[in-house]
Each structure stands twice: as C-alpha cells, then as structure tokens.
Chains A and B, each alone.
Chain A
C-alpha cells in the first residue's frame, strides 16, 4: 500500500466519481454536500502536510551534512566496503570469450 493510499484510508471516500452524479444522486450515495466538502478539505490538508514534510526532510538532510566525523562514520565505510565485496563475489561473472 502506498503512503497516499494510507492517508486516503483516513478520510471518507467517494463510492463513485462525484462528477458522474447529479447533486441529488450524490447526496443519496455519499451523504450531504457538507460531508463531501469536508472530505475534500481533509485531503487538501493531507496534501499540504505532505508538501511541508518533504521540505522539512530536505532541510534536515542538508543540516546533517555539517555533522562531519559523526560517531560510526568510519566504521560504516568499512561496513559498506565489506557488503559490496560480499555482493560482488555473489554476482555471476561474465564468461570471457
């Protein structure tokens, strides 16, 4: 399930595309216009939070760049090297012609 689907699960959903229905049909299927407007607004809030969250994430990643020499940095490079070596030894080599 994608992130947006998870968010969608939290707000009332249309059973059918709202544009395909007349106002009366829409009210009968989905409840009042107020309910639908509310659902639209909640979706807008979720979308806005998504945008702000992404901006915040980028800012945090940028900020982290200044933490040079952080604990574990050297050990991690050694660990990556060993993981890569392990992987390359398990990657099938091409036969020479």
Chain B
C-alpha cells in the first residue's frame, strides 16, 4: 500500500504553480532557494569539494530537473524534502564526474573511494550505521536518507546495481542483529 499523502497543502501549492497561479509562482521562487542552500550545506559538510561557480551551475541544473519532474510530486513528503532527493543525486553525480575527470587509474568496484565521508553523529541513523562497513553504511544512507533507487545508488558510487543491493542486504542483515540486541 502506498504511503499516505501527508503534505496535501504542498501538493495543492504545486498544482497551483503548474496551473500558472502568479501568487503561487512567486512563493515557489522563494521556496526554491532551498536548492542552492541544500547544495551549499552539503558541499560545506563534505569540505567544499565544489567551488562557488560549480555550485551555482549545479543549482541551475537541479532546478531544471525539479521543474521537469514537478508534475510527478505526490505530496508524500514536504516539497523541500522531495527536492532534496534531486539535490542529493545531482550533487553526487557532479562530485563523481569531477573526481573521475582527471583519473586515468584503473579503479575496481571495491577499490573505489567512498564518495561521502559524512561526519559521525551521536544519535539516530549515524549511531546505527557505525555498526557497518563504510560502503554498506554509504548505501544505506543513500537509500534511506537520499531516497535513491538502486540504479541511482549504483551510478553515484560507480558500482553495479546488484552490488549495491548486495551491500544493502548485508547491511540490513547486520542491523537486524544490532536491533535485536537492543530489545
């Protein structure tokens, strides 16, 4: 059963934008500032791998992607959370392209550098992910925080989709033991 529509107001808002309502359009422009800000926050968190020009360029690409997909928004998450998924996917892709650009080295799947050395936190998901190998944690994070599908995770990490699924399956199997011990 699909999850319920929790954000009906945002859904109605998007419909108004798509219908050409000028007031909704103005508000949409303001709310879409979140694209640049989420990209900047992500970039900051990872030690600024992209410069300002690259970030501004990326923000425009993400915005165009969001605009193209806007009619698919179903109100199952807040509009900004839904936009975050596109930000995350496009950011990782851009980062990967940048890292791969000068590379002439032969990189194997397992030898690929982790794309996202997230700083550890003392609560919630990060605490749980400490029980996993870095690649497994990365896949879980991309799956459940960034809400990427397995082919997207595979593209972002430069591994095959089946390999992404294997890491994921191994991860949830390990976490099953961790959660069982907690009970």
Contact = CB atoms under 8 A, between A and B. Distances in A.
Interface of A: 2-4, 6, 10-11, 38, 41-42, 44-46, 48-50, 52-58, 60-61, 63-68, 70-73, 75-77, 79-81, 83-84, 87-88, 91
A71 B3 contact: no
A67 B38 CA distance: 8
A72 B57 contact: yes
Interface in B25-43: 25, 28-30, 32-42
B133 interface: no
Interface string B43-74: 01000000011011111100110010000000
A52 B141 CA distance: 10
A84 B147 contact: no
Interface string B1-44: 01100000000000001111010010011101111111111101
A54 B22 CA distance: 32
9 contacts: A49-B144, A56-B124, A61-B38, A64-B37, A64-B38, A71-B59, A76-B63, A77-B33, A88-B20
B125 A56 contact: yes
Nearest to B32: A80
B39 A70 contact: yes
Contacts, number: 156
B155 interface: no
Contacts of B34: 61, 64-65
Nearest to A77: B29
Interface string B70-95: 00000001101100100000000000
Contacts of B30: 77
Contacts of A66: 37, 41
A84 B43 CA distance: 28
A83 B67 contact: yes
